[in-house]
Structure 1
Amino acid sequence: MFIGHLPAGYISAKLLLKQFADTGVSTKFFILAGALGGIAPDLDMFYFYLIDNRQNHHHTYWPHYPVLWLTILAASSIWFKLANNKSAPALAVIFSISGSIHMLLDSIVGDIWWFAPFIDKPFALFTVEAVYKPWWLNFILHWSFALEILVLGWAYYLWRSKSA
């Protein structure tokens, strides 16, 4: 996924904002935490390009391990339940929800190692064939890119809408 993660994080925060309204966290910080969680797994791209020299698929690095995001989500949910001041745990919850959604979205056409680090086997719902050069055209010209456009459109709608 190329353009869908940031808007997906925004959508998750926008849709859950009312459920976390009484936590004392500001709307701006809550939405920012959701948006950052949506792109956080891809921060491994810095390592991919600057250190690893593109030797390994960046989805094999620990920021793309679903077990990490599910663990953060479980821990932040427990923290949220137990805390008296719920603003920081609310930010952690939305951040981890958006990071988990990132894993789901990447699983559509990108290999995700769902059982890493325990099992070295990637999973994807669909495969993007390498037909075009440069490589990224294969993803942009694939039908799945329409899903990204839909996510972007949904985020735009929520941004412009007063009701959400």
Structure 2
Amino acid sequence: MFIAHLPAGYLITQLYLKRQCFSFAEQHRAWLVGVGLFASVLPDVDLLYFYWFDQRQHNHHSYWTHTPVFWLAIFLLPCVVVWITKQKLLLTTIVVLLMNVMLHLLLDSIAAEILWLYPVVKQSFGLVEVPAQFAWWPLNFLLHWSFMLEVLIVGTALYQLKRQYSLKYQTVNIQS
């Protein structure tokens, strides 16, 4: 994925917050959306290592930041502690973080491979393989059919964002 991680994070976070059985104040909703956006690109922090230290020797999807077990291990204890203490905002923050990280890995699995079963099985899994036809590697992805899925996700997020703010603007005008 190139351009769809942030928009997909926005969409899934908004959907999750809409389906919650309890509501949050506007500033808490904004916080949770920000957390979702941050987490939607968090696994790609490994790109810093990929370019600065690894000199592009290994596919960054093979790093530990792109393994579900790493993220599950990080979030398991905080999730249990917060669930026991019944802190709704903190629990929702952790759920939004984990949900967006896992969505990132799922989206990466469409046109790349992820170590979903690591460390039990050291095999990567992906939906399709993007053939290397062009010397400039991004062109291989931009011209692949899977990029249309990214465009669809971006378009849906833009539509949802426009719809949300136009409804909010109408509500403000009605109350004025």
TM over 0.5: yes
More helix by share: 2
Q: State the 1:92 CA deviation.
A: 1.4
Distance 2:13 2:74 in 1: 17
Paired residues of 1:64 and 1:112 also in contact (CA < 8 A)? yes
Q: Is 1:16 matched up with 2:16?
A: yes
Identity of aligned residues (%): 38
Distance 1:125 1:73 in 2: 26
Distance 2:31 2:149 in 1: 27
Matching residue's letter, 1:154 = T
SS of the residue 1:117 aligns to: coil
Paired residues of 1:23 and 1:85 also in contact (CA < 8 A)? no
Instruction: Name which of structure 1's ranges 73-82 and 46-55 shifts more when overlaid on structure 2.
Output: 73-82
Paired residues of 1:107 and 1:125 also in contact (CA < 8 A)? yes
Gaps of 5+ in 2: 169-176
Match of 2:173 in 1: none
Gaps of 5+ in 1: none
Number of residue pairs matched by the alignment: 164
Paired residues of 1:20 and 1:90 also in contact (CA < 8 A)? no
Match of 2:129 in 1: 127
TM-score, normalising length: structure 1: 0.90
Q: CA-to-partner distance for each residue in 1:48-76, whole Å, 9 max, x for gaps?
A: 00111111110111110012233445545
RMSD: 2.1
The structure 2 residue matched to 1:60, chosen from 50, 59, 62, is 62
